[in-house]
Amino acid sequence: MKKLFGTDGIRGVANEYPMTAEIAMGVGQAIAHLSLRKGHTPRIIIGKDTRASGDMFEEAIANGICSLGADAISMGVIPTPAVAFLTRSTRADAGIVISASHNPSQDNGIKIFNNEGFKLSDKKEHQIEELILSGNSQALFPTVDRTGKLLRMDDAGGRYIDFLKASFPRNLNPEGTKIVLDCSHGATYKVAPAVFSELGCSVTTLFNQPDGKNINLNCGSQHPEKLAAEVLRQNADAGFAFDGDGDRVICVDEKGNILTGDRILAICAALLKKENKLLNNLVVRTVMSNVGLTIAFQKLGIDSVLTDVGDRYVLEEMQKRGAVIGGEDSGHIIFMQHHTTGDGLITALQVLAAMKKEAQPLSQMAAIMKVFPQMLINLEVKKKPKIESVPEIMAAIKEVEEKLGDKGRVLVRYSGTQNMCRVMVEGPTREETEKYCRQIAAVAQNILA
């Protein structure tokens, strides 16, 4: 059976398998089927980002939900973490997000949250795959005596904005703080400026004119350079770049320096420890974390554990070990005291709160961590054999690792959402890092492309 789910839901080019209207309808049917119980009409929330294909998938999913007698509740364009929050706060049975996150506009995807606002386990995703791909939908999804209704939640954005503002400490006053926001022409284009403005910040907003095709296009968390330039031009205190669905953020300090997720983790974890709020003295991070974060945590006396790439794996480890903060260098940061999933806006607000609590500019706070030079090369691949089973790639990795010693590291892995192999090298100097990364990438491309 061909898998539908990757590391973050189903994802692919819109109108190509697996991102077809038929699969989307099957997702709606499967979620409704699993939510059915006697005397209960399931309610399933649907949100989407600004991609042109979102309408098609929303209708298909809603049709699947309603065909099984459940009600579909459309929230329109709204960030992914808003769906998680509203699923839980309205006691809905599940939440479905139509988004391909930071991917280009031609892609789309489907993410699913359970009734508690958490992403689904591998076991539950496998169950949904079996239902969709069984080839016997008539038997699995029999005719019901009623069809569901398609409802709309017109105040979804307002509810989410109130939730976000409540995460910012009431004893802090950010009034007059100059903030620049890059909304990536995505799902945060309305709520992000509203949140910071309502808290009293002076807000400049970039890339907030979505047209269905410009989401993530040379902007957002993947391309924060224009944000950095605007922060300098505005003489702003900080800038925040969100991705297309708003579950990750990249920061820019007042000097125009770009701060990725690792530095955000270091800043926020250090403050939590100082306030005696870092439960179990623990931070969860991924194998993609920079070596500099390891050194920073050692100096701070903070324990940390590594997981595979993917915020769902970070969350699982946080729940298992009782951690309150965890995240990825990509900008997915989870604050368990505030939310059940990564939320770019929650993260941005916590960074702003840290600046106010410490009464320090963001650049000074970011100095807590020295970033080792890192290079990442993404290779488009036609096949994905286990890296460990390819002698040539393993030999190239071993050669570089021996040259780096304890002054760097190598990580070669496949993307869980795209047909890509990611080659990452960290080293003591930019020149060595780039040289070794290209060396391994050339071998990998020759075999996998």
| Domain match, 323 and 388 both | no
Beta bridge partners of 323: none
Q: Taking CA 114 as the corner, what is the angle to CA 339 and CA 66, rounded to the nearest 5 degrees?
A: 130
**What pLDDT was estimated at residue 216?**
98
Q: How many CA atoms lie within 13 A of 9 on its CB side?
A: 24
Instruction: Give residues with Cβ within 8 angstroms of 396, minimum separation 6.
Output: 439, 440, 443, 444
**Are 382 and 272 in a shared domain?**
no
Q: Is-contact 290 366, C-beta < 8 A?
A: no
Annotated catalytic residue within 35, 53, 99, 101: 101
Last residue of a domain, one of 157, 184, 207: 157
Taking the CA atoms of residue 361, residue 363, residue 366 and residue 367 in that order, the dihedral angle to the nearest 10 degrees is: -110
Cα gap 381→200, rounded to integer Å:
48
Same domain, 188 and 279: no
pTM: 0.90
How many C-alpha atoms does 311 have within 13 Å on its Cβ side?
27
* Same-domain check for residues 151 and 10: yes
In this predicted structure, what is the pLDDT of residue 1? 45
Q: How far is CA 351 from CA 197, 233, 253, 268, 300, in A?
A: 16, 21, 11, 7, 18
The whole-angstrom separation of Cα 95 and Cα 39 is 21
User: Would you say residue 350 lies in a domain?
Assistant: no
| Under-70 pLDDT residues of the chain | 1-2, 135-144
Identify whether 32 is part of a domain. Answer: yes
For residue 419, the domain's CATH number is 3.30.310.50
200 and 320 co-located in one domain:
no
Q: Is the distance from CB of 80 to CB of 111 less than 8 angstroms? A: yes
Query: Do 135 and 14 reside in the same domain of the chain?
Result: yes
Q: Is residue 164 part of a domain?
A: no
Give the dihedral sign, CA 263/264/270/273: negative
pLDDT of residue 2: 55
Which residue, among 362, 351, 376, has the nearest Cα to 290 in the 3D structure? 376
Q: What are the φ and ψ backbone dihedral angles of 8, each rounded to 5 degrees?
A: -140, 65
Question: What tokens appear for 422 in the block?
Answer: 């990611």
Cβ-in-10-Å burial (0-12, 13-18, 19+) of 437 comes to buried
Domain count, the chain: 4
- Phi (first) and psi of residue 17, to 5 degrees: -55, 135
Q: Which residues of 199-211 are buried (b: 16+ CB within 10 A; e: fewer)?
A: bebbbbbbbbebe
Regarding whether 268 and 252 lie in a shared domain, the answer is no
Whether 184 is catalytic: no
Helix, coil or strand: residue 323:
coil
Same domain, 47 and 131: yes
pLDDT at res. 142: 60
Kindly state whether residues 183 and 65 are assigned to the same domain.
no
**What pLDDT is recorded for position 158?**
98
Residue 418 falls within a domain, yes or no?
Answer: yes
d(CA 394, CA 391): 5
The residue range of the domain holding 302 is: 260-343+366-371
User: 250 and 198, same structural domain?
Assistant: yes
Residues 111 and 131 in one domain: yes
- DSSP bridge partners of 285: 306
Kindly state whether residues 19 and 34 are assigned to the same domain.
Answer: yes
- pLDDT tens figures, 293-342: 999 999 999 999 999 988 989 999 999 999 999 999 999 999 999 999 99
Domain containing residue 205: CATH number: 3.40.120.10
Query: Is there a domain that residue 403 lies in?
Result: yes
Q: Is residue 351 in some structural domain?
A: no
